[in-house]
Amino acid sequence: MMALAEIGWIVVLIAAAAQLSPAAGLAIWFGITVSMLLSQRWYGTVSLRFMQAQFFWTIGLALGVTDAMPGLISGVAAGFGVFVAGLFAQMWIERRFKLRTSKSLTAEQSPDMPNLPKGGSAWGGDEPYRTPEGVPLRVLDHGEIAMGGPQVLTYLLDYCVLEGASPSARFSSDGRYFVSPMPSRGAWQLLAFDRAERRLYHCRDERFWELDHVSNTTLYGRCSPLTDDRAFQVDIATLLAGTQAIPLVQIRDLWVPEDALDGIDLEPRTLKSHGARLSTHLWLPESLAALDEPLEPLRRPRDELRIDGQASGLLLAHTDPELVWSSDGQAFVCRTAWARTAECTYWLWESGKALRQLAEPWQSLNREPHGGIAGVVALEHDVARFRLSLSTPELSRGDHGRLSGYPWSLPLTLGFGDDGRVITAEVGACELDILLPLDGPGGRDACALESQPLPDGRRVGWRWLRDSGDGTLGAYRCRIGEWALEGEWLIDHRVSDCGRYVALVAFADAPAVPSRLVIADVTTKELHWVAQPLPGVQLQGFIQQQLHVFHLLGRHDAPEITGPGQGDPGLLRRFDEALPPAELAHAFLQPRKASRLYYEQECLLRGDDGWTCRPRLRPIQSPPDSLTQGHFAYSAPAPADSAAAFGFDETTIFPADDERITVNIDGYLLTASGCGLANIGPAMIWSDDGRYLALTRYVSRHAEAGLAEDEWRLMLLDTQAKTLRRYKEGLGCLPRFERFSGRLDFAVGSETAPEQLQRFSLSLADMLQAPAETLHECHGRWLPQSELHRKHYWQRLSFDN
């Protein structure tokens, strides 16, 4: 009964705080704080119930703020911020005013518990920095459980590494034991280190979060201050009696837990060799404790290479050292391992000759394709061949937006099925070979670059000519096998999956930006120039004779603040400042504060007129359903009207417990007759006479108070009267319209269970009884009141683009 009463009290506190307005809830929170301070002043202690009430009131207040915000994302963020701020405020108040709790004894709390001052906090600030003998106690690492949780430290004590400890650590009175809680997301433990016998214990006792005192025989501490801060004590001998000691292993002058050496091979290893005998030995400095980071050689181990038993002085990677032999076994090239104090270098060994360092290979510039570290893959007669993976550029919104990253693989849209679902294919990184001469200076001017072999064995090759005036882009001479291409080229390229075509970009220096794209037919040795200029073009993939690229159109200021139900402004807004002509656009690329470059993706297809861009809006004739993807133009039966739907966001819904579906929401609609709407879903249907367009909009359960589940709601657009009707009632899950001829027929239900579809019908006459919002005319666009603040975007938007 007592436990149920405790739970009920907690639930009532949280529910009460959540139901009040944020202002009222905050006022009561401050009222609890004032009550605690008055209790401390008058009675010298604060009731534990006050502290519990403030903590659980903070939780309820955070839930109330979450519910009060207009959208899920903003609500969760605001609620989490309130909880963290309230938690830290409570902790600060307790420490600032030195609040002491008064609490009744429980069956678990010893009645003879001494009245000890509180020890260090699990959140830091009072960790020990010296041993009882006055020797410095080093803290090697700081971490924390989740965001703002208890800290996790690694101590170096008596040359022993103690991992997973807490700031609330204490030495015993005689200095023999060092004891600390071990913070965890699950069950906490106690770390006990017997300094006299150099024995480490991890004790299964999760009661202690903070320690107050450790005598010669007894440990005193408390459980979580976030709950009841209850005090406990335990006999040290009893604690250690049932605990197995953690094995410690000596590495140079440190003692570390045995599991700290997992994955490290302490024994010498023999490498595969075609000539000289090669072996590697774990390299360690004479003293680890003397290092600023004593554990660095163990966390990033390196091996010393020995050739025919003789130390070479080269340190290689401990795992998978990079070393390549020549085909005749008379030479090899290896790469030294990276360290904080040394960069990677490449070394050549030849039979009968001394080791020598090779020159630096080719390095890319800022505006050239991004890649990782080049790895040596072959040693040929007079060159070392390196291979570099060029990552694929990606836009923030998939087919439009800012340049957001360079993943190693990227899904590209090939088309759409009859059901309106997108068909994609994954493209990987493009690989570039660097040929570094074994003799000579190396660098950009000395290295040849090659693509991977084409089906006939030929390669695309580049030779550096010069760098751009600002030093960010290189101009290269290019050839495909023996076919030399005239002009200057970038190294950005893509080879089609069939191997017949190679996409290349012509170089352009300031004040221009590269904008000319060509597809080379290696079979006929013809260059097919793309007629449309593509300023700032970057290549993504060349698959199934579709070349995917993106190019620069302009820049926009800091993004608009949007949330659920507000749509994606990207394809409506696009850019605020258009790109100048490509011949003068270089200065436009320079970074500006609070401004971002805007790109759009294009897919080039080969046709009778050469390689041209695929239209962004795909035409469809049948009514799209709730799962239709992409941008589309849906034609009306009559008169000559059409609806362009674009700029959708994606969200994941769960129609059933075992079902997870991604749907498009919050898109835009522009009709050929000039009507513009936002926050639409893809499901829509024209009436048979082409006057009315029935639409849907998605409403998340978190967007409105009182919604138990997500809803799709009906909208009716009258393109002749220029009115819009919105309906409050939900249509059901994943609606799909079937017919609109005097009555609107539609079905709802999961696509995975067609036998469970439910069909409904609404009379047009009944639908027209609902109040209508008159659209506002804005220079040829008809917009609802909610879109008038973005009328300048709608006015410049063309139905064709």
| Average pLDDT of span 394-421 | 92
User: In which residue are the tokens 């979060």 written?
Assistant: 209
360 phi and psi angles, rounded to 5 deg = -70, 135
Report residue 554 CA to chain centroid gap. 26
Of how many residues is the chain composed?
801
Q: Tens digit of pLDDT for each residue in 112-130?
A: 566 777 888 898 888 899 9
- Kind and range of the H or E run holding 201: strand 199-203
Residue 696, classified by CB atoms within 10 Å of its CB into exposed (0-12), middle (13-18) or buried (19+), is buried
pLDDT confidence of residue 651: 87
pLDDT confidence of residue 567: 44
| Average pLDDT of span 387-414 | 92
CA distances (Å), 790 to each of 71, 725, 726, 781, 800, in order? 21, 20, 20, 11, 19
Q: What's the domain count of the chain?
A: 5
Q: Which residue has the higher pLDDT, 701 or 136?
A: 136
Q: Tens digit of pLDDT for each residue in 573-632?
A: 889 999 999 999 999 999 998 899 999 999 999 998 899 999 999 999 999 999 999 999
Report residue 355 CA to chain centroid gap. 43
Residue 248 CA to residue 254 CA, distance in Å, equals 10
pLDDT at 109 over 50: no
Residue 477, classified by CB atoms within 10 Å of its CB into exposed (0-12), middle (13-18) or buried (19+), is middle
pLDDT confidence of residue 705: 74
Do both 604 and 680 map to the same domain?
Answer: no
pLDDT confidence of residue 91: 80
271 phi and psi angles, rounded to 5 deg = -90, 150
Among the three residues 330, 357, 384, which one is the final residue of a domain in this structure? 357
pLDDT at 247 over 70: yes
Q: Which residue has the higher pLDDT, 360 or 105?
A: 360
Q: Check if the beta carbon of residue 89 is closer than 8 Å to that of residue 29.
A: no
Q: Which residue has the higher pLDDT, 609 or 343?
A: 609
Residue 411 CA to residue 427 CA, distance in Å, equals 6
Q: Which residue has the higher pLDDT, 745 or 372?
A: 745
Residue 416, classified by CB atoms within 10 Å of its CB into exposed (0-12), middle (13-18) or buried (19+), is middle
Is the residue at 765 inside a domain?
yes
pLDDT at 11 over 70: yes
| Average pLDDT of span 90-100 | 75
Is the residue at 162 inside a domain?
yes
Q: What percent of the chain has pLDDT over 70?
A: 92
Query: b/e string for 240-277 if b means 16 or more Cβ within 10 A?
Result: beebeebebeebbebbbbeebeeeeeeeeeebeeebbe
Do both 650 and 719 map to the same domain?
Answer: yes
Report the SS3 class of residue 488.
Answer: strand
pLDDT at 72 over 80: no
pLDDT at 752 over 70: no
Do both 286 and 234 map to the same domain?
Answer: no
Is the residue at 377 inside a domain?
no
675 phi and psi angles, rounded to 5 deg = -85, 130
pLDDT at 46 over 90: no
Is the residue at 743 inside a domain?
yes
Do both 227 and 280 map to the same domain?
Answer: no
Do both 609 and 499 map to the same domain?
Answer: yes
Count of C-beta atoms within a 10 Å radius of residue 114: 12
Q: Which residue has the higher pLDDT, 672 or 6?
A: 672
DSSP 51: H
* Helix locations, 162-246, DSSP H: 236-241
Do both 599 and 666 map to the same domain?
Answer: no
Q: 355-369, 374-388, 559-573: which has the minimum mean pLDDT?
A: 559-573
Q: Check if the beta carbon of residue 368 is closer than 8 Å to that of residue 475.
A: no
pLDDT confidence of residue 104: 36
Is the residue at 681 inside a domain?
yes
pLDDT band at residue 3, thresholds of 50, 70 and 90? very low
Strands 723-730 and 773-774: antiparallel
pLDDT confidence of residue 657: 62
Q: Which residues have a Cβ under 8 Å from the Cβ of 23 and sit 6 or more positions away?
A: none
pLDDT confidence of residue 339: 65
pLDDT band at residue 564, thresholds of 50, 70 and 90? very low
Do both 454 and 593 map to the same domain?
Answer: yes
Find, among 688, 675, 682, the residue nearest to 719 by Cα: 675
Q: Check if the beta carbon of residue 42 is closer than 8 Å to that of residue 52.
A: no
Q: Tens digit of pLDDT for each residue in 438-475?
A: 998 899 999 999 999 999 999 999 999 999 999 999 99
Residue 386 CA to residue 403 CA, distance in Å, equals 28
pLDDT at 111 over 60: no
- Predicted TM-score (pTM) of this structure: 0.78
DSSP output for 663-678? EEESEEEEETTSBEEE
Find, among 507, 512, 504, 497, the residue nearest to 530 by Cα: 504
Q: Is the peptide bond before 639 cis (omega within 30 degrees of 0)?
A: yes
Do both 542 and 475 map to the same domain?
Answer: yes
Residue 737 CA to residue 683 CA, distance in Å, equals 7
Count of C-beta atoms within a 10 Å radius of residue 726: 15
Do both 656 and 747 map to the same domain?
Answer: yes
pLDDT confidence of residue 1: 45
Identify the domain containing residue 75 by its residue range.
2-102
Instruction: Give the CA-trace dihedral at 288, 292, 298, 300, to 10 degrees.
Output: -140
- Kind and range of the H or E run holding 36: helix 22-43
Among the three residues 258, 281, 314, which one is the final residue of a domain in this structure? 258
Q: Which residues have a Cβ under 8 Å from the Cβ of 181 and sit 6 or more positions away?
A: 122, 165, 166, 168, 169, 188, 189, 190, 191, 208, 209, 210, 211, 221
pLDDT confidence of residue 754: 56
Average pLDDT along the chain: 89
Among the three residues 258, 277, 299, which one is the final residue of a domain in this structure? 258
Q: Which residue has the higher pLDDT, 20 or 255?
A: 255
Q: Which residues have a Cβ under 8 Å from the Cβ of 427 and sit 6 or more positions away?
A: 392, 409, 410, 411, 412, 540, 541, 543, 548
Do both 72 and 191 map to the same domain?
Answer: no
| Average pLDDT of span 695-709 | 83
pLDDT at 392 over 80: yes
Report the SS3 class of residue 594.
Answer: coil
Q: 101-110, 262-271, 514-523, 530-539: which has the minimum mean pLDDT?
A: 101-110
Is the residue at 368 inside a domain?
no
Query: b/e string for 756-784 if b means 16 or more Cβ within 10 A?
Result: eeeeeebeeeebeeeeeeebeebeebbbb
Is the residue at 116 inside a domain?
no
pLDDT confidence of residue 105: 33
Q: Check if the beta carbon of residue 201 is closer than 8 Å to that of residue 240.
A: yes
Q: What is the dihedral sign for C-alpha 293, 298, 303, 309? A: positive
pLDDT band at residue 52, thresholds of 50, 70 and 90? confident
Do both 593 and 607 map to the same domain?
Answer: yes
Is the residue at 801 inside a domain?
no
Do both 243 and 283 map to the same domain?
Answer: no
Report the SS3 class of residue 471.
Answer: coil
Beta strands (DSSP E) in 402-558 are: 403-405, 410-416, 422-427, 430-437, 448-450, 460-467, 474-480, 483-495, 501-506, 517-521, 526-529, 538-543, 546-557
Find, among 341, 316, 328, the residue nearest to 379 by Cα: 328
